[in-house]
């Protein structure tokens, strides 16, 4: 009894090793369900190949937040030094 061959989560094509034979996707890469059509898509892909829904990266909004916090901390440090 052999294991059933894995199928590509993106196009249901046959998989050779870790790559889909049909679309070439790495089936071990992080993926998520598209909010537009529910199909699996690569996490690193911004636009769904099935329905074209644009996905923002989950961490993109955190970058300006972290930068802003750094700037605030630096400003507070400068003010503390100037006041002391
Ligand atoms: Zn595929
Ligand atoms: Zn989609």
Q: How far is the centre of ligand 2, averaged over its atoms, from the C-alpha of 16 (Å)?
A: 24
Q: How far is the centre of ligand 2, averaged over its atoms, from the C-alpha of 76 (Å)?
A: 45
The two structure tokens encoding residue 68: 């802003």
Kindly indicate the confidence band of residue 51, based on its pLDDT and cuts at 50, 70 and 90.
very high
Residue 76 CA to chain centroid, in angstroms?
Answer: 34
Q: Is the pLDDT of residue 3 over 80?
A: no
Residue 67's φ and ψ, nearest 5 degrees, are -60, -45
User: What's the pLDDT tens digit per position in 19-49?
Assistant: 999 989 888 989 889 889 998 888 888 888 8
Residue 58: per-residue pLDDT: 62
Q: How far is the centre of ligand 1, averaged over its atoms, from the C-alpha of 46 (Å)?
A: 17
Q: Is the pLDDT of residue 73 over 80?
A: yes
Residue 57: per-residue pLDDT: 63
Measure the CA–CA gap between 28 and 24, rounded to whole angstroms. 12
């Amino acid at each position: 009894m052999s294991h059933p061959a894995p199928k590509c989560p993106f196009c249901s094509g046959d998989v050779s090793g870790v790559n889909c034979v049909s679309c070439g996707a790495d089936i071990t890469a992080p993926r998520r369900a598209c909010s537009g059509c529910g199909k699996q898509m690569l996490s690193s892909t911004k636009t769904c190949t099935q329905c074209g829904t644009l996905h923002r990266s989950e961490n993109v909004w955190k970058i300006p937040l972290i930068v802003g916090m750094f700037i605030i901390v630096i400003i507070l440090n400068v003010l503390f030094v100037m006041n002391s």
